[in-house]
């Protein structure tokens, strides 16, 4: 499969060249459109994902559907030698990633696999959105986190801000890309491609409040059946001070699924950082004043 550009901005004729001054003018006007302020659509009820990892069978239909719907290029497989996971991680061109965790104890009597479909968490307080300097990353009317590809200039700040290692800058087109919660499908009333194809309904899409209620019920059900290690990751306000709109049901420690136990919100470091810098500034200025005022 050829590597097609994810971005589609710009005015081009079918053979890819710009003809004549009229088209050049149109191109200039189109380029300026990223500066125009659009009226945002009226907010709708917040949507999200509830990924119940106890139902995942590791079929990777979600990965395939996501790639197909969003026309993302395939990547060479990452043969780790330790896992059935040959995708490895989320990236600028992989927006769903299935993890395979083999847990085989010493006695080899009770092996189990943990399977999870990882995705952008669409954080309520998304660090990527909080640091983006161009305003490319916005919250949509569905309260998802979305990168406006025609605005992003590839500064790379979101890449180091994300505490889950989700978003990345693409080496193909220089922009930052991640799961869009299938914004285009939501606009026409459909659900994201991954949720649509998941054969076990491990990936569930819907109104956030309803998903949370459903998740609580599922936890109660699992506890009643003896799986007392089941818990929700990201469903409540504890994670990043607002929760995740794409939350998970896990049965082991977060690090087993390569998730941080208590992710920190980067902007929380700003105030102390600025204050300490201001204090240092005062000290340095006093040094300078005394130094030059000497006769």
Partner 1 sequence: METRGSAVNGPERGYYGLPVLKPPVWRWEIWSYFFLGGLSAGTFLVASLARLFGDEDDRRASQVGYLLSFAAILPCPLLLIKDLGRPSRFLNMLRIVKPSSPMSMGIWGLIAFSVCSVLSAWRALGTVIGHPLPLSRALPERLLALVGSAAALFIGGYTGVLLSVTSVPLWSRSVLLGPTFLAAAFSSGLAALGLALALCRGVPNRTLAKLRPMEVAALAVEGAMLAGFARQSDRAVRPVVSSDEHGRGFLLGAVGVGIILPLLAHLVGPHHRRSAALSSVCALVGGVLLRRVLIEGGRASAEDPQVTFWHTDRPPEKSQW
Residues 121-180 that bind partner 1 (CB under 8 A): 127, 130-136, 151-157, 159-170, 173-176
Q: How far is the CB of 105 from partner 1 (least distance, A)?
A: 4
d(CA 55, CA 203): 9
Site for partner 1 in 38-57 (CB under 8 A): none
Strand locations in 22-178, DSSP E?
Answer: 47-52, 96-103, 112-119, 137-139, 145-147, 168-169, 176-177
Q: What residues numbered 1-20 form the site for partner 1, per CB under 8 A? A: none
Instruction: Give the C-alpha distances (Å, rounded to integers) separating 43 from 12, 39, 149, 164, 191.
Output: 34, 12, 21, 27, 17
User: Considering the rule CB under 8 A, would residue 273 count as an interface residue with partner 1?
Assistant: yes
| Stretch 207-226 residues interacting with partner 1 (CB under 8 A) | none
Q: How far apart are CA 149 and CA 67, in angstroms?
A: 17
User: In the set 5, 18, 23, 34, which binds partner 1 (CB under 8 A)?
Assistant: 34
Q: By CB under 8 A, what part of segment 55-84 binds partner 1?
A: 80, 82-83
**In angstroms, rounded to a whole number, what is the distance separating the alpha carbons of residues 41 and 125?**
20
CA distance 118 to 165: 11
Q: Report the C-alpha gap between 70 and 136 in whole angstroms.
A: 19
Stretch that binds partner 1, among 15-23, 191-199, 216-224, 267-275 (CB under 8 A): 267-275
Nearer to partner 1 (CB atom), residue 163 or residue 211: 163
Find out whether 116 and 56 touch, Cβ atoms under 8 Å: yes
Which residue of 25, 29, 103, 186 would you call a contact of partner 1, by CB under 8 A?
103
Residue from 86, 89, 141, 143 in contact with partner 1 (CB under 8 A): 89
Q: How many CB atoms lie within 10 A of CB 54?
A: 16
Q: Using the rule CB under 8 A, which residue among 104, 209, 213, 220 binds partner 1?
A: 104
137 or 193, CB closer to partner 1? 137
Segment near partner 1 (CB under 8 A); pick from 190-198, 201-209, 211-219, 248-256: 248-256
Residue with tokens 């998740």, as numbered in its chain: 215
User: 61, 118, 93, 159: which is closest to 247 by C-alpha?
Assistant: 118
CB closer to partner 1, 23 vs 214: 23
Number of residues lying near partner 1 (CB under 8 A): 90
Q: How far is the CB of 196 from partner 1 (least distance, A)?
A: 27
Instruction: Work out how close the CB of 206 gets to partner 1 at its nearest, in angstroms, rounded to a whole number.
Output: 28
């Amino acid at each position: 499969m050829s590597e097609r550009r994810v971005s589609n901005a710009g005015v081009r004729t079918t053979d890819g060249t710009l003809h004549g001054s009229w088209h050049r003018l149109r191109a200039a006007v189109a380029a300026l459109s990223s500066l125009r302020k659009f009226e945002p659509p009226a907010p709708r009820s917040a949507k999200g994902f509830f990924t119940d990892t106890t139902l995942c069978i590791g079929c990777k239909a979600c990965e395939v559907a996501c790639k197909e719907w969003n026309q993302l290029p395939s990547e060479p497989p990452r043969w780790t030698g330790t896992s059935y996971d040959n995708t490895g991680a989320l990236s600028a061109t992989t927006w769903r990633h299935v993890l395979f965790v083999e847990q085989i104890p010493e006695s080899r009597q009770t092996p189990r696999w943990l399977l999870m479909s990882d995705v952008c968490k669409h954080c309520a307080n998304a660090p990527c959105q909080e640091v983006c300097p161009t305003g490319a990353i916005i919250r949509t009317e569905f309260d998802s986190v979305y990168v406006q590809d025609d605005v992003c200039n590839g500064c790379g700040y979101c890449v180091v801000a994300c505490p889950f290692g989700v978003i990345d800058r693409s080496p193909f087109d220089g922009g930052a890309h991640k799961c869009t919660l299938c914004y285009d499908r939501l606009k026409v009333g459909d659900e994201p491609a991954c949720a649509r194809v998941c054969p076990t309904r491990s990936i569930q899409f819907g109104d956030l409040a309803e998903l949370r209620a459903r998740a609580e019920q599922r936890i109660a059900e699992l506890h009643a059946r003896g799986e007392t290690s089941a818990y929700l990751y990201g469903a409540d306000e504890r994670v990043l001070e607002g929760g995740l709109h794409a939350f998970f049901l896990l049965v082991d420690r977060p690090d087993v699924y390569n998730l941080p136990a208590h992710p920190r919100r980067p902007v929380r470091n700003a105030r102390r950082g600025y204050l300490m810098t201001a204090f240092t500034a005062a000290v340095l200025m006093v040094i300078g004043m005394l130094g030059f005022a000497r006769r």
